[in-house]
Chains A and B, each alone.
Chain A
Amino acid sequence: MKQQVFLEKINPVKDKMYRLAVRLLVSKEAAEDATQEVILKLWQRKKKIKDYTNIESFAMTATKNYCFDELKSKKNNNLRIVHQNYENKTVSVHRDLELKDELSWIEKIVNDLPEQQRLVFQLRDVEQMDFEEIGEITKMKNTAMRVALSRARKKIRESLTKKHDYGIKGN
């Protein structure tokens, strides 16, 4: 496969890979590195890719594995990946500051979820993939995926509700 062809195939997936990496590693810098690294790895194993008809799920699986490895090695070293991205990515579409605030709250809640739940939530709610694809990437069973997803959604909703109640009581 020529470099040009490879890039054309990988570019549409790149952002998806990055978003998954951010979700798992939290740090943007680490996520950028991870994305670059995985793309390189895929390029080096391009002969294998030819056989894979769906490069997207292959790339996503590779990203997931890379991030989990990264997390594992950091955990073993008693290190946490440091991240400085507390500032909110402003989205002009959302007019009110309140919502912006809310979004960064949710991000915090999501990042506190267990890794598997974060993974499934990212793929389903953010990337809107079907369960078949998610299963291919995560290698999880259908029921396990749904349970993880349900827990993640419930947890986020409960945390948010709690926060709002607290705000009301505080006033």
Chain B
Amino acid sequence: MELKEIKILLEKYETGESSLAEEKMLRKYFRNHQVPEELKAYQGIFAFSEVEKEKKSTVNGTLPEPVKSYKHLWTGIAASIILLVGIFLFQDDSSEMQDSELGTIQNEEEALQKSMEALKMVSKLMNESKQDLIYLKEFNKTKDKFLKTE
């Protein structure tokens, strides 16, 4: 390529009007030719941009996973807190006896009588149920017929 053409291209280059293809041509020319002193500066620029393009980063493309797992960690913590709070709230209601649920009888005599009545009722029911246990004797009798114990 003629030096004349190169100079025209350089002019375009400097006004920012050159195309990528033209710049490529310039780069190639300056890489492979000796150029007159007044164009040495351009040679520097083109060499510079080529060297710069070769620079590599040392950033290794690893990504920390945490981005994802942290999100789940927090939902986990939130869920357990809600669960715990929930359990305690409901337990409070059910386990603790309220004053209103206790006896309402103030008179001692009457209280005694009522308690006795209640206990009597329990023992009466116990005795009644015990009568039904008589049948168990029958069962034992039958069992003894088969299993002789000496």
CA gap between A18 and B24 in the complex, in Å: 23
Does A22 reach chain B (CB closer than 8 Å)? yes
Residues 94-127 of chain A, each 1 if its beta carbon lies under 8 Å from chain B, else 0 = 1000010011011100100000000000100111
| A62 smallest CB distance to B (angstroms) | 14
Size of the A side of the interface (Cβ < 8 Å), in residues, is 49
CA gap between A73 and B72 in the complex, in Å: 34
Q: Which B residue's beta carbon lies closest to that of A22?
A: B55
CA gap between A43 and B65 in the complex, in Å: 10
Q: Which B residue's beta carbon lies closest to that of A156?
A: B45
| B99 smallest CB distance to A (angstroms) | 57
Q: Which B residue's beta carbon lies closest to that of A154?
A: B14
| B54 smallest CB distance to A (angstroms) | 7
CA gap between A7 and B92 in the complex, in Å: 53
| B131 smallest CB distance to A (angstroms) | 77
Q: Which A residue's beta carbon lies closest to that of B68?
A: A3
With a cutoff of 8 Å between Cβ atoms, the chain B residues found around residue A44 in the complex are 67
B40 touches A125 (CB 8 A): no
Does B49 reach chain A (CB closer than 8 Å)? yes
A157 touches B53 (CB 8 A): no
Contact of B49 among A102, A105, A126, A154 (CB under 8 A): A126
Contact of B57 among A18, A110, A154 (CB under 8 A): A18
Does A82 reach chain B (CB closer than 8 Å)? no
Size of the B side of the interface (Cβ < 8 Å), in residues, is 32
CA gap between A102 and B51 in the complex, in Å: 12
CA gap between A55 and B134 in the complex, in Å: 90
Does A40 reach chain B (CB closer than 8 Å)? yes
Does B16 reach chain A (CB closer than 8 Å)? yes
With A125-B45, A146-B17, A164-B41 in contact, do A39 and B61 touch (Cβ < 8 Å)? yes
Does A79 reach chain B (CB closer than 8 Å)? no
20 contacts between A and B (CB under 8 A): A3-B65, A6-B63, A7-B63, A14-B61, A15-B57, A17-B57, A18-B57, A19-B52, A23-B52, A32-B57, A43-B67, A102-B44, A102-B47, A106-B44, A125-B49, A128-B24, A146-B16, A156-B45, A157-B45, A160-B44
Interface residues of A (CB under 8 A from B): 3, 6-7, 10-11, 14-15, 17-19, 22-23, 31-32, 35-36, 39-40, 43-44, 89, 91, 94, 99, 102-103, 105-107, 110, 122, 125-128, 130, 145-150, 153-154, 156-157, 160-161, 164
Interface residues of B (CB under 8 A from A): 13-17, 20, 23-24, 37-38, 40-42, 44-45, 47-49, 51-59, 61, 63-65, 67
